[in-house]
Amino acid sequence: MAVRQALGRGLQLGRALLLRFTGKPGAACGWGRAERPVPAAGWGRGERRGPSVGAAAESRRLGLGLPERYRFFRQSVAGLAARLQRQLVLRARGAGPGGRAVFLAFGLGLGLIEEKQAEGRRAAAACREIQAVFTQKNKLPPDPLDTRRWQGFRLEEYLIGQSIGKGCSAAVYEAAVPSVPQNLELAQSTGLLAGRRPESFPQEENEERAPQAPAFPLAIKMMWNISAGSSSEAIFSTMSQELVPASRVALAGEYGAVTYRKSKGGLKQLAPHPNIIRVFRAFTSSVPLLPGALVDYPDVLPPRLHPAGLGHGRTLFLVMKNYPCTLRQYLRVKTPSPRLATMMTLQLLEGVDHLVQQGIAHRDLKSDNVLVELDADGCPWLVITDFGCCLADKSIGLQLPFTSWYVDLGGNGSLMAPEVSTASPGPRAVIDYSKADAWAVGAIAYEIFGLANPFYGQGGVHLESRSYQEAQLPALPASVPRETRQLVRSLLQREASKRPSARVAANVLHLSLWGEHILALKNLKLDKMIGWLLQQSAATLLAERLTEKSCVETKMKMLFLANLECDALCQAALLLYSWKAAPLCM
């Protein structure tokens, strides 16, 4: 805004103040006690929550930061007016040079403050409108594999193939529903390599190589039941964390599961997200003797299947989409380009941000718990899986009371954030998990960019989250963009308060990937940023309509615009500007 326009607006406000203080009739004062100031629109997440209930209540309900800041400004201006009232009135009436200078300076300051507030209101409103459009566009359609045409609540309904892999608490097998041939046709005709293991992806050492067989679009996960008992209610209660990413119909086939979900009330159900696994069916059944069971996990089988087995006769089964490989397997044979690796890291941050917004912490992020599928161009799409260690309690959210050493802190101690690994129990001790998964993404980024994970003790560098110093972090390759290297270092800061949130970190990568020209401006204003966002919105909508199946880059842009919030975007831009001015640390 030009100085003349700011001065004009300030003079109007100053004149109202002057008339108010001199007691002249007809004065329309926007700063007095009679008229309650209206807070400006905030910079928060816009329409993510419920409907509006008035401007002031809306701002407070959304947790927006600027209304408090506005009140500070208004109180400051009111205090300044009170202190200068006598001098202002006397000098203004006398029309002396000093009075005119004070009057003009006071009016100019008020005009600049008012214009800054108006700019923030315009930016916040535009972000909310863009977000509303892409939230609708970004809603996940029902998965063709998750249909009510097949029941899928009995193990006998599935054709189970070869072993896909096993972890510390379950084994996963490829599966199909022979009674629904359209599912098999879908898996064979889709552009994604779902349901079959390409020869280019190696199997684990203890796996037998599966021959090329008809596509298995599903994967079935059999939990190992050693201590949960054999009743459905006990199994669902003990393994409830596995049900967090379950779909609405996943538990509809078993009375015990439905009863547990309705009665407990403390378990959160995760809303769908394209970077997070969906569980299509969950049910209990007798433990069968599946291929490779006597070799891979004989100790957890029930005694009727193995004399030395310690497992119970029934256990939990989870049915989900079959993915070609894990992130760890993919990175063994593929070396993504720096730009592609940046987009892969961005996908993890988008998934983690969705978890945080739902009040859920994964607590076991690692490359083995990230699945990968490929689009028609061979570009990887990442999906976070395995929620057995997650924190998803409605009563505590992301703040876990740490009263004793018996409290479960999650899995994978190597990638446990410093605020978790160094916590000490006590009567009032609480662990904040809001940025713990983002820290794990920073560690996994080393693997994505072609280096050994320093927290695994590989590649000659061994760091521990309890004791490492940021100066000990190894440098990423010089081919990695500067902004990405700075972000990884920022995600791995020991102090959680200095670490960016997953949303801000994701916005940093979005801006560095697609906003180079807007960031190159020396004087970046919110109005220019909004203009760029409108251009991105139009281009993304056009690209999404022109292609039958959106590429990974288009999907990421749609996620960015669906999660758009002005405050987090400005924080990301400020981070990028500060990194440009500061020397590169890694």
Per-residue pLDDT tens over the stretch 2-23: 555 655 655 565 555 555 544 5
User: Is 60 exceeded by the pLDDT of residue 98?
Assistant: no
How many CA atoms does the CB half-sphere of 194 hold within 13 Å?
A: 24
- Give the containing element (helix H, strand E) for 372: strand 370-374
How far apart are alpha carbons 191 and 549 in whole angstroms?
9
Evaluate the CA torsion angle 444, 446, 451, 452 in order and state its sign: negative
Instruction: Tell me the pLDDT band of 45, cut-offs 50, 70 and 90.
Output: very low
Q: Tokens in use for 182? A: 């359209």
Domains of the chain (ranges; CATH) run 3-137 (no CATH), 155-323 (3.30.200.20), 380-581 (1.10.510)
3-state secondary structure 41-73: CCCCCHHHCCCCCCHHHHHHHCCCCHHHHHHHH
Q: What length does the chain have?
A: 586
- Which of 275-279, 499-503, 578-582 has the least mean pLDDT? 578-582
Instruction: Tell me the pLDDT band of 170, cut-offs 50, 70 and 90.
Output: very high
Instruction: Tell me the pLDDT band of 97, cut-offs 50, 70 and 90.
Output: low
Instruction: Tell me the pLDDT band of 127, cut-offs 50, 70 and 90.
Output: confident
Contact 177, 158 (CB under 8 A): yes
How far apart are alpha carbons 573 and 524 in whole angstroms?
9
User: Is 50 exceeded by the pLDDT of residue 212?
Assistant: no
The pLDDT value given to residue 318: 95
Q: How far is CA 379 from each of CA 175, 219, 373, 407, 482, rounded to the nearest angstrom?
A: 25, 22, 8, 40, 23
- Which of 32-36, 177-181, 439-443, 542-546 has the least mean pLDDT? 32-36
Q: How far is CA 218 from each of CA 12, 278, 415, 451, rounded to the nearest angstrom?
A: 68, 11, 29, 32
Q: What is the DSSP letter of 387?
A: -
Cross-strand partners of 380: 374
How far apart are alpha carbons 2 and 173 in whole angstroms?
66
Q: Tokens in use for 285? A: 């059944």
The pLDDT value given to residue 191: 34
The pLDDT value given to residue 257: 54
220 closest CA partner among 258, 168, 163: 163
What's the mean pLDDT when you consider all of the chain?
Answer: 78
What b/e string do you get for 261-275 counting C-beta neighbours within 10 Å, with b at 16 or more? beeeeebbbbeebbb
Q: Tokens in use for 57? A: 């209540």
Q: Tokens in use for 154? A: 């009995």
Work out the burial of residue 442: count CB atoms within 10 Å of its CB; fewer than 13 is exposed, 13-18 middle, 19 or more buried.
Answer: buried
- Give the containing element (helix H, strand E) for 381: strand 380-384
How far apart are alpha carbons 346 and 505 in whole angstroms?
8
- Which of 110-119, 249-258, 261-270, 517-526 has the least mean pLDDT? 110-119
Q: Tokens in use for 570? A: 């400005």
Contact 226, 253 (CB under 8 A): no
Evaluate the CA torsion angle 261, 267, 270, 271 in order and state its sign: positive
How far apart are alpha carbons 317 and 145 in whole angstroms?
17
Give 258 or 222, the one with higher predicted confidence.
222
Q: What is the largest CA-CA distance in the chain?
A: 105
- Give the containing element (helix H, strand E) for 341: helix 338-357
The pLDDT value given to residue 295: 93
How far apart are alpha carbons 12 and 10 in whole angstroms?
5
Contacts of 109 (CB under 8 A, 6+ apart): 10
Residue labelled with tokens 């924190």 = 391
The pLDDT value given to residue 26: 44
Contact 370, 356 (CB under 8 A): no
How far apart are alpha carbons 406 and 501 in whole angstroms?
28
Contact 419, 429 (CB under 8 A): no
How far apart are alpha carbons 187 and 552 in whole angstroms?
19
- Which of 100-114, 507-521, 543-557 has the least mean pLDDT? 100-114
Contact 280, 320 (CB under 8 A): yes
User: Is 50 exceeded by the pLDDT of residue 211?
Assistant: no
Instruction: Tell me the pLDDT band of 65, cut-offs 50, 70 and 90.
Output: very low
User: Is 50 exceeded by the pLDDT of residue 66?
Assistant: no
Instruction: Tell me the pLDDT band of 38, cut-offs 50, 70 and 90.
Output: very low
Tens digit of pLDDT for each residue in 515-571?
Answer: 877 776 666 677 788 888 888 888 888 887 776 556 888 889 999 999 988 889 889
Output the pTM of the full model: 0.76
How far apart are alpha carbons 133 and 544 in whole angstroms?
13
How far apart are alpha carbons 118 and 10 in whole angstroms?
13
Q: Tokens in use for 358? A: 């739902």
- Which of 22-36, 354-368, 456-470, 486-500 has the least mean pLDDT? 22-36
Tens digit of pLDDT for each residue in 134-149?
Answer: 887 777 766 666 655 5
Three-state DSSP state, 256: helix
How confident is the model over 487-508, as a mean pLDDT? 96
The pLDDT value given to residue 58: 46
Contacts of 580 (CB under 8 A, 6+ apart): none
The pLDDT value given to residue 470: 94
How far apart are alpha carbons 154 and 474 in whole angstroms?
50
How far apart are alpha carbons 137 and 544 in whole angstroms?
10
Positions marked catalytic: 364
Q: Tokens in use for 52? A: 């509006």
How many CA atoms does the CB half-sphere of 333 hold within 13 Å?
A: 11
How far apart are alpha carbons 211 and 523 in whole angstroms?
60
User: Is 60 exceeded by the pLDDT of residue 422?
Assistant: yes
Rg of the chain on CA atoms, in Å = 29
